[in-house]
Amino acid sequence: MATLDFEFRNQILGNDIGSTLAYCYQCATCSGACPVALVTEGRYNPRRLILDALLGLKEKIFGKENAFNIWGCTICDTCDEVCPQKVELTEIFTILKNISVERGEAPEHYTGQASTVLEHGKAIPSQPAIERRREQLGLPAVMPPDMDEVKKLLTATKLAEKLPKS
Ligand code: SF4
Ligand code: SF4
């Protein structure tokens, strides 16, 4: 049986966004509208994730074996739009994802993509084939990102420290 972790619960409830958790009355409107819940036939379930966070059931949320419980969310914001209680689900799930990253439990496809942004300033680095194709189609050249600015911003978020060392 999962145990309540009050410190974790208070960590989530203790900020403006997380405090909206307390308004959830488990109506399941979010799960009914969530496209990921739909295609996974409920394996991913935002209502359950909100309940687990509200109860401080940390061990049901974290751990590599539970990664899909958090990372299944595509941040489409549909749940936020339909929640009658204005619970900030997507933002709360982002808090949980950030904790998951700090615990070293984020799926590799996410951390790998973040490393690419850190290195190239974009998720899909430009390649000669893409540039040639754009030219053939008469599209303007894509300006390279300002890497100094990107590095400055990402350094402020401490992204490099959070990513697994390869
Ligand atoms: S829609 Fe809002 S109130 Fe209803 S279960 Fe989801 S988070 Fe809770
Ligand atoms: S933001 Fe995440 S939890 Fe909410 S509806 Fe979209 S996929 Fe589902």
The 10s digit of each residue's pLDDT in 15-65 is: 888 889 999 999 999 999 999 999 999 899 999 999 999 999 999 999 989
> Measured between alpha carbons, how far is 101 from 90 in angstroms, rounded to an integer?
16
- In CATH terms, the fold of domain 6-102 is Fumarate Reductase Iron-sulfur Protein; Chain B, domain 2 (1.10.1060)
Residues 6+ apart with CB under 8 A from 1: none
| Mean pLDDT, range 138-161, rounded to an integer | 92
Quote the ligand 1 centre to 32 CA distance (angstroms): 10
Residue 125 is predicted with a pLDDT of 87
Q: Where are the domains of the chain?
A: 6-102, 108-158
User: Which pLDDT band holds residue 162 (cuts at 50, 70, 90)?
Assistant: confident
> Measured between alpha carbons, how far is 56 from 102 in angstroms, rounded to an integer?
18
CA 93 to chain centre: 6
Alpha helices in 20-88 (DSSP H): 29-33, 35-39, 46-55, 58-61, 67-71, 78-82
Quote the ligand 1 centre to 96 CA distance (angstroms): 17
| Mean pLDDT, range 61-87, rounded to an integer | 95
Helices 89-102 and 6-13 cross at an angle (nearest 10°) of 130
Residues 6+ apart with CB under 8 A from 53: 9, 12, 21, 61, 92, 96
Residue 111 is predicted with a pLDDT of 92
What pTM value is reported for the model? 0.86
Nearest ligand, CA of residue 82?
A: 1
Residue 37 is predicted with a pLDDT of 97
Decide if 93 contacts 69 (C-beta within 8 A): no
Decide if 37 contacts 44 (C-beta within 8 A): yes
Whether residue 2 is predicted with pLDDT greater than 80 in this model: the reply is no
Whether residue 166 is predicted with pLDDT greater than 80 in this model: the reply is no
Nearest ligand, CA of residue 90?
A: 2
Decide if 93 contacts 67 (C-beta within 8 A): no
Of 77, 89, 90, 91, the residue with max ligand 1 atoms within 8 A of its CB, to mutate for a pocket test, comes to 89
- Residue among 93, 105, 23 nearest 64 (CA): 105
Give the CA radius of gyration of the chain: 19
